[in-house]
């Protein structure tokens, strides 16, 4: 179906009133989320632009259709960043990033989208336009529906405008790769790091040609980074006995967890670290990268049905992002009583799909 | 309270955990907002989640309003009982079920005291980050209901940002759970934690909570700076923020608050119009470098005195005065109201000047203690409840401060919640339609509107009577207001 370009919140309200089933997209970058069989398609790319930005307030308000790259560039000019580190930063819109709840590896340091969203303007399934949350960094008034919308996949209300808390970014970064012979060796190293004083900017890992590689990143000033990285390296060498430690070039794709996940359906899996050994055994040759200290896995699978079954058995939810699929959520079911109550208020006619 | 309902309660609770006599109900009649009190019909003391669930279902069936209560430290009247309703006191559900240092999580019951989690996590070099001033007594269940904050929210957020998973009983008795033991929390599907936390007890009761623990910072560096005027202290905050530093806490106290703190805990603060506290935390090498930069900034900010905490004792002394400032105000005035408005950080100076004018207009004193880093003001309005019309004037002044915060682009509450106290001001922040939608949401979860009835939304019954003086626990210095 040809998408209808939406330029204002009022147009979106009308569109929702006029159509029986509505699916929304930004840039359509998460291909697996847009198999909206027969629903009228709304394109929100035109709801774009930085609407308010006060660097001294640590807040930014942007149109939901704004490309993530524009937001990041505007923030970078003032030395700030989105600490949740939006995924697919080269192609996604900010609204799509929030609706799908896709944070990148740097989310490890300060938190995910839910920790930085402050408020939103939305249009619900009845076409009602309203505000949720606030615009200041701290606000406890009313129900916090802005956090609820994180991960809501466009099924409760459509965000047209978003306000985030932002932080000053570090001027410099350095990354190390620590190699371990086995997964348990690597997990023991993470366990040590988790109770140590080191404050890492990111912590990912993946199987390597031989054994496993842990990737760690430190952020800070050019004066303090060299001694900090030295100390981290020495401590980990002493405490976790890696087979090798190598400094990595800070290339553009080094901290893109999806960069090497080509071929197959790309899936996000929310994972308690203690389930990693069991989960990893179930994956066979599936390409994978574990992120945020092993609390999240990104996979590229050739056998989605098998993955669905094993996730369900382990009680883990997954979300397909890239690829052609019938249903994006897989694994443990998402149905929830509280979510159903919210749906009955915001989208009682079940228009939003 | 009607007889069939009480009889049904008797099938759940033995007599020593079902309180109905006036003398037993007395301690539950008010909370941290001492200007209000009201009498519940009964209090029950469940010891496990099955009893809570059975109680909520019974309330739903009999349409009896209930309040889930922890330690009753709410500053917005959020834990004020519903007249003739049921109080479900959760203090006996105080088990820390599990500390998992590998995953950096704690699994707890709702009646666990905030500080006890940090104490249990300490052996693993971990701590629970949100630190409301009442943390030695307030419970996690209450923190969840009101999304409690504290002095250290700027960097790591409020309660909501530290909850990973929950099991809850909704107000109509349905039991549901969401989230996980991953730091991604819910991660896929709508963030139900974000919705439930801060819902002021209107959705139901948290039965079991999975919390994120943080690694103890290697080093804290704390500086106290004294200024000859409040504006200069506010400007210093802007300097710090503009520098790219990200302190764990940025706090300001004005002259009256300093005086109160001195009278109370003898923190040894300098004699000043305003004090600024800035604290950095993290890896030692990074913090030392940032602290040098911070000291340079404060040198240029017009501070006439700067003190650096050289030991953990000195740091504790700086914070003791700040954290005790509220109850200390009780020494200066028989009664006071604490406000909790938020303004954009850049408009703090404007807000403080406006509050100064309001003081004169109403002929009342206002002490200011606030989380300057996130623009969260805590004006303390001093009055003498024995004086005719004084409470009314104090409330009118408080209302003007709230309106001021909204007009400056902020919020009527940063961390205390709407509760009973500010429910009539909700329409200053949200339109009629927005409030209607929130009400509809509440009714979809609680069709009988029994969970903490009378809070958050404007109108409704006014159960409150007026009272003077500090909360009994406050008088003993057990709790304090932030």
Q: Which of A168, A186, A202 is the last residue of a domain?
A: A168
Query: Does A163 share its domain with A220?
Result: no
Using only the alpha carbons of chain A, give its radius of gyration. Answer: 21
Query: Does A45 share its domain with A176?
Result: no
Query: Does A112 share its domain with A48?
Result: yes
Report the CATH number that the domain containing residue A275 is assigned in CATH.
3.30.70
Position B238 scores a pLDDT of 87
A239 in any annotated domain = yes
Query: Does B360 share its domain with B428?
Result: no
Q: CA-CA distance, B280 to B293, in Å (whole number)? A: 11
Query: Does A216 share its domain with A308?
Result: no
Mean pLDDT of all residues in B83-96: 97
B282 near A CB under 8 A: yes
Mean pLDDT of all residues in B125-133: 93
Task: Tell me the shortest Cα–Cα distance from A201 to chain B, in angstroms.
Answer: 12
Query: Does B171 share its domain with B105?
Result: yes
Considering CB atoms only, which of B155, B194, B433 is closest to A114?
B194
Task: Tell me the shortest Cα–Cα distance from A123 to chain B, in angstroms.
Answer: 12
Query: Does B294 share its domain with B362?
Result: no
Position A353 scores a pLDDT of 93
Report the CATH number that the domain containing residue B147 is assigned in CATH.
3.30.465.10
Nearest CA-CA partner of A157 in A140, A143, A145 = A145
Cα A169 to chain centroid, rounded: 18
Q: Which of B381, B401, B417 is the last residue of a domain?
A: B417
pLDDT tens string A322-333: 999 999 999 999
B389: β partners: none
Residues in chain B: 482
Query: Does A186 share its domain with A323?
Result: no
Q: Which residues of A touch B234 (CB under 8 A)?
A: none
Mean pLDDT of all residues in A73-98: 97
Position B266 scores a pLDDT of 83
B280: β partners: B221
Query: Does B235 share its domain with B374?
Result: no
Quote the DSSP letter at residue B80. P
A149 in any annotated domain = yes
Q: Which of A116, A140, A168 is the last residue of a domain?
A: A168
Report the CATH number that the domain containing residue B349 is assigned in CATH.
3.30.70.2740
Considering CB atoms only, which of A142, A191, A344 is closest to B426?
A142
Position B19 scores a pLDDT of 96
Mean pLDDT of all residues in B92-115: 97
Say if the Cβ atoms of A151 and B191 lie within 8 Å.
yes
Considering CB atoms only, which of B156, B188, B442 is closest to A317?
B188
Residue B482 above 60 pLDDT? Answer: no
Q: Which residues of A touch B283 (CB under 8 A)?
A: 197-199, 228
Q: Which of B275, B294, B327 is the last residue of a domain?
A: B327
A350 in any annotated domain = no
Query: Does A153 share its domain with A16?
Result: yes
Query: Does A102 share its domain with A115?
Result: yes
Query: Does B412 share its domain with B432?
Result: no
Query: Does B281 share its domain with B361?
Result: no
Report the CATH number that the domain containing residue A236 is assigned in CATH.
3.30.70.260
Query: Does B42 share its domain with B81?
Result: yes
Q: Per the structure block, which two tokens stand in for A101?
A: 């709840």
Position B154 scores a pLDDT of 86
Residue B471 above 80 pLDDT? Answer: no
Query: Does A123 share its domain with A237?
Result: no
Give the 3-state secondary structure of residue B281: strand
Q: CA-CA distances (angstroms) from residue A17 to A9, A13, A127?
A: 13, 6, 6
Nearest CA-CA partner of B257 in B333, B351, B205, B312 = B333
Residue B141 above 60 pLDDT? Answer: yes
Q: Which residues of A touch B374 (CB under 8 A)?
A: 136-138
Q: Which residues of B touch A101 (CB under 8 A)?
A: 187-188, 191
Mean pLDDT of all residues in A207-234: 96
Mean pLDDT of all residues in A210-236: 96
Say if the Cβ atoms of A220 and B286 lie within 8 Å.
yes
Report the CATH number that the domain containing residue B277 is assigned in CATH.
3.30.70.2190
Mean pLDDT of all residues in B118-132: 95
Task: Tell me the shortest Cα–Cα distance from A153 to chain B, in angstroms.
Answer: 7
The helices-and-strands tally (H runs, E runs) of chain B is 16, 18
Residue B326 above 80 pLDDT? Answer: no
The full DSSP string for A16-74 is HHH-SSEEEESS--SGGG---TT-EEEE-TTS-SEEEEEGGGTEEEEETTSBHHHHHHH
Contact A245, A176 (CB under 8 A): yes
Least confident piece of the model among A145-154, B310-319, B439-448: B310-319
Say if the Cβ atoms of B346 and A54 lie within 8 Å.
yes
Query: Does B112 share its domain with B21?
Result: yes
More confident residue, B156 or B57: B57
Report the CATH number that the domain containing residue A115 is assigned in CATH.
3.30.465.10
Query: Does B247 share its domain with B352?
Result: no
Query: Does A236 share its domain with A278?
Result: no
Interhelix angle B49-62/B3-12, nearest 10 degrees: 160
Mean pLDDT of all residues in B135-148: 95
* Interface confidence (ipTM) of the complex: 0.97
Position B473 scores a pLDDT of 46
A308 in any annotated domain = yes
Contacts 24+ apart (CB under 8 A), A224-231: A224/B285, A224/B286, A224/B289, A225/A172, A225/A173, A225/A174, A227/B285, A228/B283, A228/B285, A228/B286, A229/A174, A229/A176, A231/B285
Position B33 scores a pLDDT of 82
Q: Per the structure block, which two tokens stand in for A278?
A: 């069991």
Query: Does B393 share its domain with B457?
Result: no
Position B464 scores a pLDDT of 44
List the domain range (segments joined by +) for residue B65. Answer: 1-216+418-482
Residue A307 above 70 pLDDT? Answer: yes
Position B481 scores a pLDDT of 54
Position B463 scores a pLDDT of 44
Q: How confident is the model at residue B470 (pLDDT cuts 50, 70, 90)?
A: low
Chain B residue with CA closest to A221: the answer is: B286
Position B476 scores a pLDDT of 45
Query: Does A185 share its domain with A164?
Result: no
Task: Tell me the shortest Cα–Cα distance from A24 to chain B, in angstroms.
Answer: 16
A57 in any annotated domain = yes
Query: Does B131 share its domain with B60?
Result: yes
A353 in any annotated domain = no
List the domain range (segments joined by +) for residue A195. Answer: 172-248
Q: Which of B282, B308, B327 is the last residue of a domain?
A: B327
Contact A125, A350 (CB under 8 A): yes
Q: Which residues of B touch A141 (CB under 8 A)?
A: 411-413, 417-418, 422, 426, 429-430
Chain B residue with CA closest to A224: the answer is: B286
Contact A186, A205 (CB under 8 A): yes
Position B472 scores a pLDDT of 44
Say if the Cβ atoms of B185 and A112 lie within 8 Å.
yes
Q: How confident is the model at residue A36 (pLDDT cuts 50, 70, 90)?
A: low
Q: How confident is the model at residue B461 (pLDDT cuts 50, 70, 90)?
A: low
Total domains present in chain A = 3
Q: CA-CA distance, A45 to A104, in Å (whole number)? A: 22
97-116 in B: which are within 8 Å (CB) of A?
Answer: 100-104
Query: Does A21 share its domain with A158?
Result: yes
Q: Which of A223, A248, A273 is the last residue of a domain?
A: A248
Q: Which residues of B touch A151 (CB under 8 A)?
A: 186-191
Q: Which residues of A touch B160 (CB under 8 A)?
A: 114, 144, 147
Total domains present in chain B = 3
Angular region, A114: left φ>0, alpha ψ -120 to 50, beta rest = alpha
Say if the Cβ atoms of A150 and B345 lie within 8 Å.
no
Mean pLDDT of all residues in B394-418: 92
Task: Tell me the shortest Cα–Cα distance from A290 to chain B, in angstroms.
Answer: 12
Q: CA-CA distance, B440 to A124, in Å (whole number)? A: 13
Say if the Cβ atoms of B410 and A292 lie within 8 Å.
no
Query: Does B160 share its domain with B176?
Result: yes
A122, A128, A141: which to substitute to probe chain B, counting the most B Cβ within 10 Å? Answer: A141
Task: Tell me how crowded residue A115 is: count the other CB atoms within 10 A of its CB.
Answer: 23
pLDDT tens string B354-387: 998 999 999 999 999 889 988 999 999 999 988 9
Q: Which residues of A touch B432 (CB under 8 A)?
A: none
More confident residue, A30 or B37: A30
Nearest CA-CA partner of B468 in B364, B387, B357 = B387
Considering CB atoms only, which of B160, B190, B345 is closest to A149?
B190
Say if the Cβ atoms of B286 and A221 lie within 8 Å.
yes
A352 in any annotated domain = no
Query: Does A9 share its domain with A155?
Result: yes
Angular region, B171: left φ>0, alpha ψ -120 to 50, beta rest = alpha
A117 in any annotated domain = yes
Position B203 scores a pLDDT of 98
pLDDT tens string B230-288: 989 988 998 998 899 999 999 999 999 998 888 888 888 999 999 999 999 999 999 99
């Amino acid at each position: 179906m040809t998408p209808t370009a939406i330029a204002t919140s009022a147009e979106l309200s009308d569109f929702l009133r006029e159509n029986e089933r509505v699916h929304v997209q930004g840039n359509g970058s998460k291909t697996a989320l847009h198999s909206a069989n027969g629903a009228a398609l709304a394109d929100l790319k035109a709801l774009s632009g930085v609407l308010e930005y006060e660097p001294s307030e640590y807040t930014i308000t942007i149109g939901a259709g704004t490309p993530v790259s524009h937001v990041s560039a505007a923030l970078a000019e003032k030395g700030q960043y989105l600490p949740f580190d939006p995924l697919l930063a080269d192609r996604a819109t900010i609204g799509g990033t929030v609706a799908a709840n896709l944070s990148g590896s740097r989310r490890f340091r300060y938190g995910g989208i839910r920790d930085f969203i402050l408020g939103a303007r939305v249009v619900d399934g009845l076409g009602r336009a309203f505000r949720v949350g606030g615009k200041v960094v701290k606000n406890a008034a009313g129900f916090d529906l802005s956090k609820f919308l994180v991960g809501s996949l466009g099924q409760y209300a459509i965000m047209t405008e978003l306000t985030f808390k932002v932080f000053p970014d570090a001027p410099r970064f350095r990354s190390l790769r620590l190699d371990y012979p086995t997964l348990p060796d690597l997990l023991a190293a993470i366990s040590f790091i988790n109770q140590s004083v080191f404050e890492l900017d990111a912590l990912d890992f993946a199987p390597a040609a031989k054994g496993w590689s842990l990737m760690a990143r430190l952020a800070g000033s050019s004066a303090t980074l060299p001694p900090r990285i030295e100390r981290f390296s020495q401590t980990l060498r002493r405490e976790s006995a890696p087979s090798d430690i190598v400094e990595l070039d800070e290339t553009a794709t080094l901290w893109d967890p999806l960069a090497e996940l080509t071929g197959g359906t790309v899936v996000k899996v929310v994972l308690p670290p203690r389930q990693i050994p069991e989960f990893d055994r179930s994956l066979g040759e599936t390409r994978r990268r574990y992120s945020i200290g092993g609390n999240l896995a990104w996979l590229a699978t050739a056998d989605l049905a098998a993955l669905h079954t094993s996730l369900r058995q382990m009680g883990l939810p997954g979300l397909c992002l890239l690829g052609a699929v019938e249903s994006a959520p897989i694994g443990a079911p998402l149905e929830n009583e509280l979510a159903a109550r919210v749906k009955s208020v915001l989208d009682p006619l079940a228009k939003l799909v | 309270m009607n007889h069939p309902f009480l009889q049904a309660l008797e099938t759940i609770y033995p007599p020593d955990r079902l309180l109905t006599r006036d003398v037993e109900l007395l301690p539950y009649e008010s909370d941290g907002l001492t200007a209000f009190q009201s009498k519940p019909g009964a209090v029950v003391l469940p010891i496990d989640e099955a009893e809570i669930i059975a109680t909520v279902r019974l309330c739903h069936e009999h349409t009896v309003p209930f309040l889930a209560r922890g330690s009753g430290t709410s500053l917005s009247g959020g834990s004020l009982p519903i007249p003739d309703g049921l109080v479900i006191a959760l203090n006996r559900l105080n088990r820390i079920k599990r500390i998992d240092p590998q995953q950096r999580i704690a699994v707890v019951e709702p009646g666990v005291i905030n500080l006890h989690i940090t104490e249990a996590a300490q052996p693993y070099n971990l701590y629970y980050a949100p630190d409301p001033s009442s943390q030695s007594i307030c419970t996690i269940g209450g923190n969840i209901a009101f999304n409690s904050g504290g002095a250290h929210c700027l960097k790591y957020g409020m309660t909501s940002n530290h909850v990973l998973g929950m099991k809850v009983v909704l107000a109509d008795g349905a039991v549901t759970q969401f989230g996980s033991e991953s730091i991604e929390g819910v991660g896929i599907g709508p963030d139900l934690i974000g919705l439930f936390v801060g819902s002021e007890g209107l959705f139901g009761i948290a039965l079991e909570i999975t919390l994120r623990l943080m690694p103890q910072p290697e080093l804290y560096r704390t500086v106290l700076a004294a200024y000859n005027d409040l504006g200069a202290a506010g400007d210093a905050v802007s300097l710090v923020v503009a520098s790219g530093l990200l302190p764990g806490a940025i706090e300001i106290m004005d002259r009256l608050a300093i005086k109160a703190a001195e009278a109370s805990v003898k923190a040894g603060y300098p004699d000043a119009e305003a004090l600024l506290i800035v604290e950095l935390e993290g890896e030692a090498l990074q913090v030392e470098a940032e602290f040098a930069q911070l000291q340079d900034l404060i040198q240029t900010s017009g501070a006439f005195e700067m003190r650096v905490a050289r030991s953990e004792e000195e740091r504790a002394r700086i914070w003791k005065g700040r954290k005790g400032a509220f109850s200390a105000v009780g020494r200066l005035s028989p009664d006071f109201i604490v406000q909790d408005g938020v303004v954009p950080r850049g408009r703090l100076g404007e807000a403080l000047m406006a509050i100064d004018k309001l003081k004169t207009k109403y002929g009342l004193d206002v002490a200011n203690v606030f989380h300057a880093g996130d623009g969260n003001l805590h004006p303390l309005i001093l009055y003498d409840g024995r004086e005719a019309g004084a409470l009314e004037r104090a409330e009118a002044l408080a209302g003007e401060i709230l309106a001021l915060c909204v007009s400056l682009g902020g919020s009527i509450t940063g961390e205390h919640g709407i509760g009973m106290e500010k429910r009539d001001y909700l329409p200053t922040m949200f339109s009629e339609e927005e409030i209607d939608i929130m009400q509809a949401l509440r009714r979809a979860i609680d069709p009988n509107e029994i969970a903490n009835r009378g809070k958050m939304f404007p109108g409704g019954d006014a159960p409150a009577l007026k009272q003077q003086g500090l909360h009994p626990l406050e008088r003993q210095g057990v709790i304090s207001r932030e």
